[in-house]
Chain A
Amino acid sequence: MSQITGEAYQRRLERLAAHPAMANDNVTLPKGSWTGAARALIGLGVAGLLMTVAGAFVYNAKHAVASYSVGVLCVTAISLGALFWTMVFHQTNAGWHATIRRQLENIMMNLPLCVGLIAVMLIVELASGGLLFSWMRPEYADSPLLTAKRSWLNEPFLVVRFFIYAGVWTLLATKLYRFSVDQDRTGDRFLNNRARFTSAWGLLAFALTTGFFAFDFIMAMDFRFFSTMWGVYYFASGPFSCMAVLLIVTGMLRLRGRLTGVVGNEHVHDMAKLLFGMNVFWAYIAFGQYFLIWYGNIPEETAWVVYRKQGGWENLAAVLAIGHFLIPFLILLLRPVKRHPALAAAAGAWLLLMLVMDMFWLVRPMVYTPASGLKSPGPGAMWVDLAAIVGVGCLWAGVLARRIASGPLIPLKDPRLPEALDHRNYV
């Protein structure tokens, strides 16, 4: 790149701007579009969250917090997946991704929202003295399994760690987003180099913060349980679910007559391949973790699994094995499905449902444990879960829709755009 003079590069940008696919009404939504939908989604989200609060009074606060956590963990996984892909594509200098990157960045920029939602979760736990985070409760203070972990599981350090996770994610997301938006304006091609440099240390910081976030906010709900694979297990939910959202978003934009010749079926094919591959990765990690616990047969670990293989939860585990892995695996193996925008988006939507099931299976059994002394109100109380998950999801989607409509749908002056516009899979 560096041997291209500024003048020659300006001419190249002019040629790019004259490309028929780069016409203004193809790469931007009309002013004011999607505002109604975004407002409706945010309203629905707030209503869902209010219903969750009502559920806390009808049943108990622990149930409501657990339902809310399921929703928050899902949308955080998706947003983290977008941050992951943005950095991976910058780091590998991937040419084909240039036309889909702005949507990835839009999803990624929901991370500050996710941080806020997590902060609410943390404040509730701290104020209530540990509804789900049982290690905060005084009755377990003398448990030898907890005293050994006290240097990690204590409130001040948890708050410090939360600020580290929140800071790293927000910093990375806003930094990368700003590079991309600045490039729209200035056309400075060296912003890609800076984004690439940021991604290099960013991926390392991302891996550590995501892993330890999963330790603190999911695994620590049962302080006796431990799995060194846990960070990867939670991370594995991100990349495929983000690709699912990306397929749905680009599909909707194409239905609106946008992105013609910009995001074609070749891009859909690649996104669906990543959806397929990262879903298999999830299955690999999920089985690998379960398998070692099964073989090792250590009571602290097996208790966690055994509890999720009884009392009806074994049905959900079967749904995950079949619905999250087996059926999508066989369907997404087929090339025509991966190259069909609607079918690929439908597979993505199904996998988003399975993401919710997965998080539900992890978090929700913690509510009515025998030790909690709470009596399960039965399936009638599921409306709280539905309200919380749909509420958080709609809030997240509404904020995303507003951001998508507010700017160009692709990075307008990325030097890799010509390559991405001509992208083809030669297989």
Chain B
Amino acid sequence: MAFADYFPLPQKWIPRGLRSKPCRHFMPDGSPMYGVVAEYDTAASVYHAAEKVRDAGFKAWDMHSPFPMHGVEDAMGFERTKLPLMVGVVALSGAAAGYLMQWWITAVDFPVTVQGKPPGAWEPFIPITFEVGVLSSAFAALFGMLAMNGLPRFHHPLFKSERFLASSDDKFFIAIEAHDEKFNPEGVRRLLESTGASRVDLVGAE
């Protein structure tokens, strides 16, 4: 899914580069296709299937499990997230802005002598500088994480599948999305079946 698909906005409001890509693949009834979803019975089988999907070079795909699985980020070939960099930049600039704000207000714009302390003293600025730094880094971490995950969203095409509800019970799933460069329905179906999936289904986007 493209970035824009996560937001219920008219396409013309969204910058050109971020707009949804036109759908290239369609369901047998002619409606747009979300992708292919494969069902697995054990954690081990889905783990090894993820390694094969990773090695086949797919980028737009995800894995679903009822519980966290250690080491799956390697099996899926995750790259390190850019989130720490975003948080670092926002936190440092937030702290700098907090310091400058206080300095400008108390030393430049409206100097008032309190308790005989010099108006430009750095000491009283530190707690607020720290707090603004923490607040902005928390915001950057939370909203950056949500944006990069495409959250919040109210619905996901996979939820249309009754069988997919078992992903929060006792089944494991791999879903490869139709907008992936390497996607073609037949090849993906063959790949997933070769990885030991107990069932492979096409899923519509709407």
Q: Measuring CB to CB, which residues of chain A are less than 8 angstroms from any residue of chain B?
A: 287, 290-291, 294-295, 297, 333, 335, 424, 426
| Known interface pairs A287-B126, A290-B123, A294-B123; 13 further A-B residue pairs with C-beta atoms within 8 A, sorted by A's residue number | A291-B123, A291-B126, A291-B127, A295-B115, A295-B123, A295-B124, A297-B115, A297-B116, A333-B88, A424-B70, A426-B70, A426-B71, A426-B73
Closest beta carbon of chain B to A118's beta carbon, Å: 34
Segment 64-108 of B: residues with Cβ below 8 Å from A? 70-71, 73, 84, 88
| Top 6 A-B residue pairs of the complex, sorted by shortest distance between their CB atoms | A294-B123, A291-B123, A426-B70, A287-B126, A333-B88, A291-B126
Among residues of A, the one whose C-beta sits closest to the C-beta of B81 is A427
In the assembled complex, the Cα of A290 lies from the Cα of B124 at a distance in Å of: 11
Closest beta carbon of chain A to B50's beta carbon, Å: 16
Knowing A297-B115, A426-B70, the reply to whether A335 touches B84 (Cβ < 8 A) is: yes
In the assembled complex, the Cα of A424 lies from the Cα of B72 at a distance in Å of: 13
* A contacts with B: majority SS: helix
Inter-chain contact total with CB atoms closer than 8 Å: 18
In the assembled complex, the Cα of A287 lies from the Cα of B88 at a distance in Å of: 22
CB-CB under 8 A from B70, the residues of chain A are 424, 426
Closest beta carbon of chain A to B88's beta carbon, Å: 7
12 contacts between A and B (CB under 8 A): A290-B123, A291-B123, A291-B126, A291-B127, A294-B123, A295-B115, A295-B124, A333-B88, A335-B84, A424-B70, A424-B71, A426-B71
Segment 139-160 of B: residues with Cβ below 8 Å from A? none
CB-CB under 8 A from A290, the residues of chain B are 123
Closest beta carbon of chain A to B179's beta carbon, Å: 29
CB-CB under 8 A from B115, the residues of chain A are 295, 297
Segment 113-149 of B: residues with Cβ below 8 Å from A? 115-116, 123-124, 126-127
Among the interface residues B88, B123, B124, B127, which one has the most CB atoms of the partner chain A within 10 A?
A: B123
Segment 37-86 of B: residues with Cβ below 8 Å from A? 70-71, 73, 84
CB-CB under 8 A from A426, the residues of chain B are 70-71, 73
CB-CB under 8 A from B88, the residues of chain A are 333
